[in-house]
Amino acid sequence: MKRNIAIATLTAAVLVGGGLATTAAFADSDSSGKDDRTATADRAADNTGEQRTARTTVDAATGAALKAVPGTVTEAELDDDDDSDRTVWELDVYGSDKVWHDVTVDAGTGKVLSDREDDENDDRDRHAPRAAAVSLDAAVKAALGAQPGTVTSVDLDDDDDDGKRDALRWDVDVAGKDGKQHELHVDAKSGKVTVDQDDDNDGDDD
């Protein structure tokens, strides 16, 4: 009787072990096709974590930065601080002193953590801030009107291929209420909003 029980137990263990091995084999064989989607999901998870700790909106962060450095904000991005566990807004400000500044604002408290002159002053287009008829605040409102959600970054893009100032635009990243990341473009002169068609988060450029 004891011998029969032992045999039955051993058989069950072999079957379970084989099943686990088979499952692992299938998982390995299927993982390569999911690399892009996994990476995209990881980025979305990072953005979600940042949003949870970001009680300070992009508008509030911009206001705080301009109190510290009067001028024009041309970029604001929600990011994790490398030197601490907190989430921060990193902003580029072209100051009224005609110098570029990097300003860091605590996304939890709204407090300005640092203000330093940008080392790449000579490589920036100083005319872009003055050429943008649409402000950062207006661009954010326009983008959120087209795609409700939470803004995670906004950037004044003057990197045009044909050298025309007409190409100046605001690039706005929005974490939508649908759980997806969306990239929108707001014309810096007209305020017209267009949606990037490659923002479906599947890792493919259709």
Going across the sheet that includes 181-187, the strands are: 112-117, 100-106, 87-95, 71-80, 149-157, 169-176, 181-187, 193-195
Q: What letter represents residue 79's amino acid? A: D
- Tens digit of pLDDT for each residue in 148-172? 999 999 999 976 555 555 579 999 9
**26 has a pLDDT exceeding 70:** no
| pLDDT at position 115 | 93
Best-predicted range by mean pLDDT (22-36, 69-83, 158-172): 69-83
| pLDDT at position 167 | 77
Least-confidence region, from 14-18, 89-93, 154-158 = 14-18
- Mean pLDDT for the stretch of residues 10-36: 39
CB 153 within 8 A of CB 92: no
SS (H, E, C) the chain: CHHHHHHHHHHHHHHHHHHHHHHHHHHHHHHHHHHHHHHHHHHHHHHHHHHHHCCCCHHHHHHHHHHHCCEEEEEEEEEECCCCCCEEEEEEEEECCCCEEEEEEECCCCCEEEEEECCCHHHCCCCHHHHCCCCHHHHHHHHHHHCCEEEEEEEEECCCCCCCHHHCEEEEEEEECCCCEEEEEEECCCCCEEECCCCCCCCCCC
- Report the residue count for the chain: 206
Burial, 94: exposed, middle or buried (Cβ in 10 Å; 0-12, 13-18, 19+)? buried
- Tens digit of pLDDT for each residue in 114-123? 999 876 655 5
- Mean pLDDT for the stretch of residues 53-75: 92
Residue carrying structure tokens 């949870």: 52
The residue with greater pLDDT, 176 or 123, is 176
- Mean pLDDT for the stretch of residues 49-66: 82
| pLDDT at position 128 | 81
| CA-to-CA dists, residue 83 to 79, 80, 86, 87, 106, angstroms | 12, 9, 9, 11, 13
Predicted model pTM: 0.67
Strand partners, 194: 185
The terminus-to-terminus CA distance of the chain in angstroms comes to 65
Q: What letter represents residue 146's amino acid? A: A
| pLDDT at position 43 | 46
Band of the pLDDT at 77, cuts 50, 70, 90?
very high
**15 has a pLDDT exceeding 80:** no
**69 has a pLDDT exceeding 50:** yes
**95 has a pLDDT exceeding 90:** yes
Mean pLDDT of the chain: 75
- Mean pLDDT for the stretch of residues 37-49: 48
